[in-house]
Structures are given as structure tokens and as C-alpha cells.
Amino acid sequence: MVEMPKTSATTRMGGARTVVGPSLVLRGDLSGDEDLIIAGQVEGKVSVPGHSVTIGPEGQVKAEIRASRVVIDGSVQGNINVPERVEIHKTGHVIGDLTAPGISIEDGAYLKGKIEIIRESESASEIDLASLRSTGSAL
């Protein structure tokens, strides 16, 4: 039995949530309208606007992540853009750029990438623009 991480984001939202279990491997775009807990492997894009994404200690993500809040206990390779907060716990490993108004990195966590702290008054469209610049996409 896999113990799911207890996060304030999941508890706070109180609504539906989806768990990508430890034996699952998903490739492609993953989107939805509920909280997401990743204990397995995900490759592609993850988009759950208005909801949280939690990567468990055994979770492995190779994807761009867009959510309201992201909590990382596992491994992420890809950029993270959120309007609320990114938390990287001591077991977390991130290779990619972070764009958010609030970022928390515990001692022992690993981060290789740049951090852009946005003001809360900046809109989601400005986060999208920052994402386009970092990926080199044409405007």
C-alpha cells in the first residue's frame, strides 16, 4: 500500500482528486478539473487550473505543469507555472524553471533552473507570456 502525501493543498481544496498510482505510466497531455496526486510516472503536459498537483516521493514527472499550487516530494523535469505557490520538500528534485508568487524550498531539496517570483497582481496571462519566453515559442 502506498502512503499518499498529506498536503495542505489537498486538504484545503476538499474536492475530488485523482491519483496516478505507483504502477502507472502516462504519456501525453493530462488535464482536468480536480486535484492530482502523482505517485507513478507522467510524461507530457499536466494542466489542472484552479487545483493542486502533488508529486509523491516515488512520483516521476517529465512535463510542464500548470496548476494553482504544486507540492513536490518526488522528481520533476520541466517548467512549473502557478498563480499561487510551489513547494519543494527535502525529498524533492526539480530540473526546470519555476514561475509563481510564492516558492518554498526545504533544506535538502534539489533545484536546477531559474526562479521567477511574480507579483500577485500579475494575471495568469502574464504567467503564460513568461512561459512562452522561457520555452522559446514564437509570439
In a domain, 1, yes or no: no
Which residue, among 43, 41, 123, has the nearest Cα to 74 in the 3D structure?
A: 41
Number of domains in the chain: 1
In a domain, 4, yes or no: no
- Domain extent for 112: 19-119
In a domain, 134, yes or no: no
In a domain, 8, yes or no: no
Alpha-carbon distance 114 to 3, whole Å?
A: 31
- Using DSSP's 3-state secondary structure scheme, residue 8 falls into helix
Average pLDDT over the chain reads 85
Alpha-carbon distance 31 to 48, whole Å?
A: 5
In a domain, 26, yes or no: yes
**Is this prediction's pTM over 0.75?**
yes
Residue found under cell 502507472 = 24
Which residue, among 117, 40, 133, has the nearest Cα to 82 in the 3D structure?
A: 117
* pLDDT tens per residue across span 65-102: 999 999 999 999 999 999 999 999 999 999 999 999 99
In a domain, 77, yes or no: yes
Residue found under cell 478539473 = 33
Phi/psi of residue 137, nearest 5 degrees: -70, 150
Cell of 96: 526546470
In a domain, 128, yes or no: no
In a domain, 66, yes or no: yes
